[in-house]
Amino acid sequence: MSTVDIKLKNSSKLYSFNSNNLELEKDMTVVVCTAKGLECGTVESVSKHLQEKKCDIPLKSIVRVATQKDIEDDIQNQKAAQENKVVAMDIIQKSGLKMNVLEAEYTLDREKLLFYFTAQNRIDFRELVKNLAKQFKTYIELKQVKEQQEKQVKEQQDIKNMNIIGTCGRQCCCSFGVTTHSTVKMVKNQNLSLNPNQTLGMCGKIKCCMSFENEHYADVNKRCPKVGSGCCDCNGRCGTVAQINYLKETVKVKFTNNEDEVEVVDYPIGQIKKQ
């Protein structure tokens, strides 16, 4: 069974789906069916194969590759959801309920409108659901989120609204709608320190840029011996990998002779092999 990792909007996690034998490529937009309903997602990785026996829980299949209409509907839904969020907050205020609406979203087919909220105390919102359903003419679902999730949402919204400049000297990716799923493994692929001051962005997550060139760094790591490991050049001379230049794709190899004299030589990755 071929599987594919999908990133859904408003989520930093990746979810695995059955490819449904579709021809998929990275960054392609697809339509999937989740617990919420129909959603648009972005393909993050493809060509993963699993044996069905190893899957304890059957994976849901991708419904289809998103059409232009699907993409346009998704954009319109997001806009409408934000407008409806304002209307819902007004209805909640008039009802006297002490709750704060953080976000709103439609499913792709508009069969459901979800509102994410926080509240300090338990709330009976059965009457509110009826009023919202009457107002928006669709199925309403209210989801309560934790304080930590509320803080993350507010921070991301502030970054988008304030156009904050990141450590790279450019606008933060969040401020112009770019979101990626960067991981600790990507940081390690680039042989960088795990120091939070260097790896985390203004939003508190691993910087988006870690994923931009990850494919290149991962490829170099596959073709090159690790730093500190033994290697041999084309002439059979053996030494130790001292440093890797990922951009030039070269390796510094340290040789030590019988008199403990050290020589460091630069090689293209293709001219050395693991010892």
Indicate the residue among 215, 234, 263 that finishes a domain: 215
Contact 84, 136 (CB under 8 A): yes
Whether residue 267 is found in the same domain as residue 240:
yes
State whether 59 and 32 are in the same domain: yes
154 and 123 within one domain: no
- Contact of 18 with 1, CB cutoff 8 Å: yes
User: Looking at residue 88, which CATH number applies to its domain?
Assistant: 3.30.300.20
Domain identity same for 81 and 121: yes
User: Are the beta carbons of 72 and 31 closer than 8 angstroms?
Assistant: no
Ramachandran area for residue 108 (φ above 0: left; ψ -120 to 50: alpha; else beta): alpha
* pLDDT for position 189: 86
pLDDT for the residue numbered 61: 87
Residues 134 and 85 in one domain: yes
pLDDT at 150 over 80: no
Please write the tens of the pLDDT for every residue from 181-235.
678 888 888 888 777 777 887 666 788 888 888 888 989 988 888 888 999 988 8
Q: What is the mean pLDDT of residues 61-89?
A: 93
Question: Is 116 in contact with 103 (CB distance < 8 Å)?
Answer: yes
Q: What is the CATH number of the domain that holds 250?
A: 2.30.30
The reply to whether 84 and 136 lie within a common domain is: yes
CA–CA separation, 199 vs 212, rounded Å? 14
- 157 plus 140 within the same structural domain: no
What was the pLDDT predicted at 1? Answer: 64
Reported pTM: 0.55
pLDDT, greater one: 128 or 158: 128
pLDDT band for position 67 (50/70/90)?
A: very high
Final residue of a structural domain among 145, 166, 191: 145
In contact, 250 and 210? CB cutoff 8 Å: no
Instruction: Based on the fold, state whether residues 58 and 76 are members of the same structural domain.
Output: no
User: Structurally, how many domains does the chain consist of?
Assistant: 4
The first and second tokens of residue 20, run together, are 């449904």
Q: Quote the domain boundaries for residue 85.
A: 72-145
| Mean pLDDT to the nearest integer, 143-156 | 62
